[in-house]
């Protein structure tokens, strides 16, 4: 597949000698530990991003631009396979950009690894495998705060206030929780790093409509504390309702963009994408 003979296991599935559980897939695109000077502007800018997976994979993103202002909620919506999640991964450094750059707070972070971006204030909640299932809720939050040298008790208290159910379940293994509660743990873990920008990849995938509304409420609450939010969403209508800025992606490129309300009112977007 990748052409690397070391990654060819010749179909081995014997779990008594190899442990497939929780194996890492992150190949960090960046190499540089420190950001380069960029230019002042919106808090996060993904500028003219073009790229795909791997060194040789086909381009998935085509000249895609995404901007998030401080304390705003930006939402990326679009049909299946439009490259929504890919755009977010590009912003986070999980795939190679062939063109374009990413600026965070006016600094060029295009060459940074995802881990390094976390240290520069980006929090990322992946769509799947976003919690440590075998660890308790509290341990999940502690691991979120792993890079912090200071006392993180107050952050944990804030997370528990935001998601009271987690306080009740603090000593329970996170893998035993319901889908909605798992998402709360995942968001809570990301918040423990005290990010300036929180990126959520389909936070409401697979949860019930009631839980979804509650999660959106919580996300608005997080944004009110001054954290910028970039979110990829399947449930376009609800997501655009809470969005300050919306991007509709079509085939890896910017289709439409504007405030959430503008997009909801746009007849083209409604007809082709929101179902009338």
Q: Which is nearer to another protein, 143 or 265 (CB)?
A: 143
Q: Minimum distance from CB of 64 to another protein (Å)?
A: 23
∠ at Cα 125 (122, 127), nearest 5°?
145
Q: Which is nearer to another protein, 22 or 164 (CB)?
A: 22
Q: Minimum distance from CB of 33 to another protein (Å)?
A: 13
DSSP string spanning 142-156?
HHHTTT--S--HHHH
**Could you tell me which residues are beta bridge partners of residue 104?**
44, 107
* Residues that bind another protein in the complex, under the rule CB under 8 A: 4, 6-10, 12, 14-27, 114-115, 118-119, 124, 126, 129-135, 139, 142-144, 146-147, 189, 193
Q: From CA 69, how far away is CA 230, in angstroms rounded?
A: 10
- Provide the token pair at 20: 């497939």
> Strands 245-250 and 73-77, how do they pair?
parallel
Q: Minimum distance from CB of 208 to another protein (Å)?
A: 24
| C-beta neighbour count of 98 within 10 angstroms | 12
Q: Which is nearer to another protein, 17 or 210 (CB)?
A: 17
Q: Minimum distance from CB of 121 to another protein (Å)?
A: 12
Q: Which is nearer to another protein, 133 or 257 (CB)?
A: 133
Q: Which is nearer to another protein, 20 or 209 (CB)?
A: 20
> Strands 197-201 and 122-125, how do they pair?
parallel
Q: Minimum distance from CB of 122 to another protein (Å)?
A: 10
Q: From CA 216, how far away is CA 117, in angstroms rounded?
A: 25
């Amino acid at each position: 597949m990748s052409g690397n003979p070391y990654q060819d296991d010749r179909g081995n599935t014997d779990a008594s000698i190899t442990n497939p559980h929780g194996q890492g897939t992150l190949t960090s695109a960046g190499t540089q530990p420190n950001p380069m000077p960029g230019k002042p502007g919106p808090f996060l800018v993904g500028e003219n991003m073009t790229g795909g997976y791997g060194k040789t994979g086909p381009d998935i993103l085509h000249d895609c631009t995404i901007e998030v202002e401080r304390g705003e909620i930006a939402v990326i919506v679009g049909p299946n396979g439009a490259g929504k999640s890919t755009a977010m991964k590009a912003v986070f450094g999980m795939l190679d950009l062939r063109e374009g750059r990413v600026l965070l707070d006016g600094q060029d972070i295009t060459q940074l690894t995802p881990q390094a971006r976390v240290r520069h204030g980006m929090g990322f909640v992946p769509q799947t495998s976003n919690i440590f299932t075998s660890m308790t809720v509290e341990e999940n939050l502690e691991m979120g705060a792993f890079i912090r040298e200071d006392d993180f008790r107050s952050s944990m208290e804030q997370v528990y206030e935001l998601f009271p159910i987690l306080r009740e379940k603090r000593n329970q293994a996170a893998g035993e929780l319901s889908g909605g509660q798992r998402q709360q743990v995942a968001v809570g873990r990301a918040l423990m790093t005290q990010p300036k920008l929180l990126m959520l990849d389909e936070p409401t995938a697979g949860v019930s409509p009631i839980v979804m509304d509650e999660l959106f409420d919580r996300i608005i609450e997080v944004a009110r504390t001054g954290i910028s939010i970039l979110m990829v969403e399947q449930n376009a209508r609800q997501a655009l309702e809470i969005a300050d800025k919306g991007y509709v992606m079509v085939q890896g490129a910017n289709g439409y963009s504007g405030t959430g309300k503008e997009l909801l009112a746009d007849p083209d977007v409604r007809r082709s994408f929101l179902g009338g």
